[in-house]
């Protein structure tokens, strides 16, 4: 590809790959640069030395209610339908999670009904019309005992702060149900790419109008290349050299272990809110359906963000929201740069939300 392109795209995750595919399909020449050695962003997956398909940067449970997103991605992958089931280990036993009627029955030690559970929750709840933070939200949904059993210490470990210091949206992502629906997620479409996320990204980027450069810093390229538009999907504060100060992120550390058994645990994910330093153990074989005599589990440890650490989660609280607002105001004045994705917009977005926004931004650029 020449030293002149229509669009320089920074990052080969969902935001960058989807926009590249849409622009390339419309005849635009795109250069995608990615600082890592592989495509897919944090959704990258691959086969480990034992032959087990693992998600390299934590589990990515694809789900959506958007038919448009499913229709679009289905051009590049077939699907393996799966309903993700997770458990929580506390008080020396496994509990169904998110909280549902089965959890309630385990708590009271006998069979029950949705009506009895709802009546109990009504007694336990700490009324709050407009929860200001995650602690108030969960207390208003399930009361103190369940909050302390499943949410309080998990949130402390994950975010390194108290639930009362985080927006309600953090704990609000988890459903509370009074029926026996024990699925982790409630969206109507739940599946994994049949041949993995990496193969999906390979197909998205397989176009003669797309050039991909891995292990490349976009700043090295931007100064030498002419482009009409840039799509930036990295941390917005890094784009502006942290001129207003660094935005806070949480990072993760992964500890994989291959074991000589078919399965190690009874579900794809087990949360550990009150025991150990890790927050969860993920055993992806439960979701992928791989038939192997061995398994790989991955213990997930929260970590401070800093040199050598990836930024995984924006920290949603009033201070970070105010700081991001300063960066967003500057970004809004950019004529040739689009900011798309979780890090570029400092939002805790699901994969389908990123795809939706990428499709919308590609349409805007083409119009």
Is 219 part of any domain?
yes
The answer as to whether 275 is a domain residue is no
pLDDT of 243 reads 97
Mean pLDDT (whole number) for 39-59: 97
**Per-residue pLDDT at 38 exceeds 90:** yes
97 close to 129: Cβ distance less than 8 angstroms: no
Mean of pLDDT values over 276-292: 97
Q: What is the per-residue pLDDT for 105? A: 98
Q: Mean pLDDT throughout 295-300? A: 98
pLDDT confidence tier of residue 321, bands split at 50, 70 and 90: very high
Query: With left for phi above 0 and alpha for psi between -120 and 50, is residue 215 left, alpha or beta?
Result: left
Residue 285, domain member (yes or no): no
Cα atoms in the 13 Å half-sphere on the side-chain side of 316: 20
Q: Which two tokens stand for residue 35?
A: 């600082």
State the pLDDT at residue 171. Answer: 86
Shared domain for 150 and 20, answered yes or no, is: no
| 321 within a domain of the structure (yes/no) | yes
Task: Kindly state the average pLDDT of the residues 329-338.
Answer: 97
Average pLDDT score over residue span 335-345 = 97
Domain check: are 118 and 75 in the same one? no
Tell me, what's the pLDDT at 198? 98
Q: In this structure, are 127 and 166 located in the same domain?
A: yes
Share of the chain above pLDDT 70, in %: 99
Q: Over pLDDT 90: what percentage of the chain?
A: 95
Whether 116 is covered by a domain: the verdict is: yes
Span 155-165, average pLDDT = 95
Q: How many angstroms from the chain centroid is the CA of residue 335?
A: 29
Q: What's the pLDDT at 168?
A: 93
How does pLDDT run across 247-271, given as a tens digit for each residue? Answer: 999 999 999 999 999 999 999 999 9
pLDDT tens sequence across 99-116: 999 999 999 999 999 999
3-state SS track over 175-222: CCCCCCCCCCCCCCEEEEECCCHHHHHHHHCCCCCEEEEECCCHHHHH
Query: Residue 299 domain-assigned?
Result: no
Based on the fold, state whether residues 13 and 156 are members of the same structural domain: no
Phi-psi region of 3 (alpha: psi -120 to 50; beta: other; left: phi over 0): alpha
Q: Is 66 found in the same domain as 157?
A: no
Q: What is the pLDDT, as a whole number, of residue 2?
A: 55
Judge whether residue 1 has pLDDT over 60: no
343 or 308: whose pLDDT is higher? 343
Report whether pLDDT(145) > 60: yes
Residue 152 pLDDT greater than 90, yes or no: yes
Is pLDDT above 60 for 160?
Answer: yes
When pLDDT is averaged across residues 302-327 and rounded to a whole number, the result is: 94
- Do residue 21 and residue 71 come from a single domain? yes
**Is the domain of 23 the same as that of 155?**
no
Q: Token pair 């739940």 is at which residue?
A: 190
Give yes or no for a contact between 227 and 7, defined as CB atoms under 8 angstroms apart: yes
Residue-level pLDDT at 86: 96
Contacts by 320-325, CB closer than 8 A, 24 or more apart = 320/247, 320/248, 320/346, 321/167, 323/244, 323/245, 323/247, 324/236, 324/247
Same domain, 227 and 355: yes
CB 338 within 8 A of CB 229: yes
Any domain includes 180? no
Determine the average pLDDT of the residues in 70-83: 97
276 in any annotated domain: no
pLDDT confidence of residue 172: 85
Where is pLDDT greater, at 140 or 308?
Answer: 140
Q: What is the pLDDT of residue 346?
A: 97
In the predicted model, what is the mean pLDDT of the chain?
96
Q: pLDDT, tens digit, for every residue of 178-225?
A: 999 999 999 999 999 999 999 999 999 999 999 999 999 999 999 888
Residues in a beta bridge with 54: 46
Residues present in the chain in total: 367
On whether both 234 and 103 belong to a single domain, the answer is no
3-state secondary structure string across the chain = CCCEEEEEEECCCHHHHHHHHHHHHCCCCEEEEECCCCCCHHHCEEECCCCCEEECCCCCCCEECCHHHHHHHCCCCCEEECCCCEEEEECCEEEEECCCHHHHHHHHCCCCCHHHHHHHHHHHCCCCCCCCCHHHHHHHHHHHHHHHHHHHHHHHHHHCCCHHHCCHHHHHCCCCCCCCCCCCCCCCEEEEECCCHHHHHHHHCCCCCEEEEECCCHHHHHCCCEEEEEEECCCHHHHCCCCCCCCCEEEEEEEEEEECCCCCCCCCEEECCCCCCCCEEECCHHHHCCCCCCEEEEEEEEEECCCCCCCCEECCCHHHHHHHHHHHHHHCCCCCEEECCCCCCCCCCCHHHHHHHHHHHHHHHHC
Tell me the residue range of the domain where 159 lies: 97-172
Domain count, the chain: 2
Query: Which residue among 172, 199, 229 closes a domain?
Result: 172
């Amino acid at each position: 590809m020449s030293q002149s392109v229509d669009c320089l795209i920074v990052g080969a995750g969902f935001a960058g790959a989807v926009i590249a595919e849409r622009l390339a399909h419309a005849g635009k020449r795109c250069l995608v640069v990615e600082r890592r050695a592989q495509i897919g962003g944090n959704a990258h997956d691959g086969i480990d030395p034992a032959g087990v398909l693992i998600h390299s940067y934590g589990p990515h449970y694809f789900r959506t209610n958007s038919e448009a997103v499913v229709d679009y991605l289905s051009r590049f992958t077939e699907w393996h339908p799966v309903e993700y089931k997770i458990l929580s280990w506390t008080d020396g036993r496994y509990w169904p999670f998110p909280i549902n009627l089965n959890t309630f029955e385990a708590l009271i030690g006998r069979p029950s009904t949705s009506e009895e559970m709802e009546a109990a929750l009504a007694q336990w709840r700490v009324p709050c019309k407009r929860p200001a933070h995650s602690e108030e939200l969960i207390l208003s949904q399930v009361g103190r005992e369940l909050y302390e059993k499943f949410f309080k210490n998990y949130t402390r470990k994950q975010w390194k702060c108290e639930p009362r210091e985080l927006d309600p949206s953090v704990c609000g992502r988890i459903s509370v149900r009074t029926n026996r629906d024990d699925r982790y997620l409630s969206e109507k479409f739940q599946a994994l790419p049949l041949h993995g996320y990496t193969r999906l990204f390979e197909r998205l980027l397989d176009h003669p109008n797309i050039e991909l450069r891995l292990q490349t810093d976009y700043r090295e390229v931007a100064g030498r290349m002419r482009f009409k538009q840039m799509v930036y999907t990295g941390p917005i504060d890094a784009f502006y050299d942290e001129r207003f100060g660094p935005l806070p992120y949480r990072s993760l550390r992964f500890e994989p272990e291959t074991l000589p058994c078919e399965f190690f645990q009874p579900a794809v994910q087990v949360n550990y809110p009150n025991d150990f330093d890790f927050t969860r153990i993920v055993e992806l074989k439960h979701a992928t359906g791989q038939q192997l005599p061995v398994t790989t589990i991955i213990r997930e440890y929260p970590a401070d963000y800093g040199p050598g650490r990836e930024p995984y989660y924006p920290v949603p609280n009033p201070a970070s929201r105010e700081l991001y607002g300063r960066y967003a105001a500057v970004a809004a004045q950019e004529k040739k740069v689009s900011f798309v994705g979780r890090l570029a917009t400092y939002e805790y977005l699901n994969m389908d939300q990123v795809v939706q926004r990428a499709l919308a931004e590609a349409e805007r650029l083409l119009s």
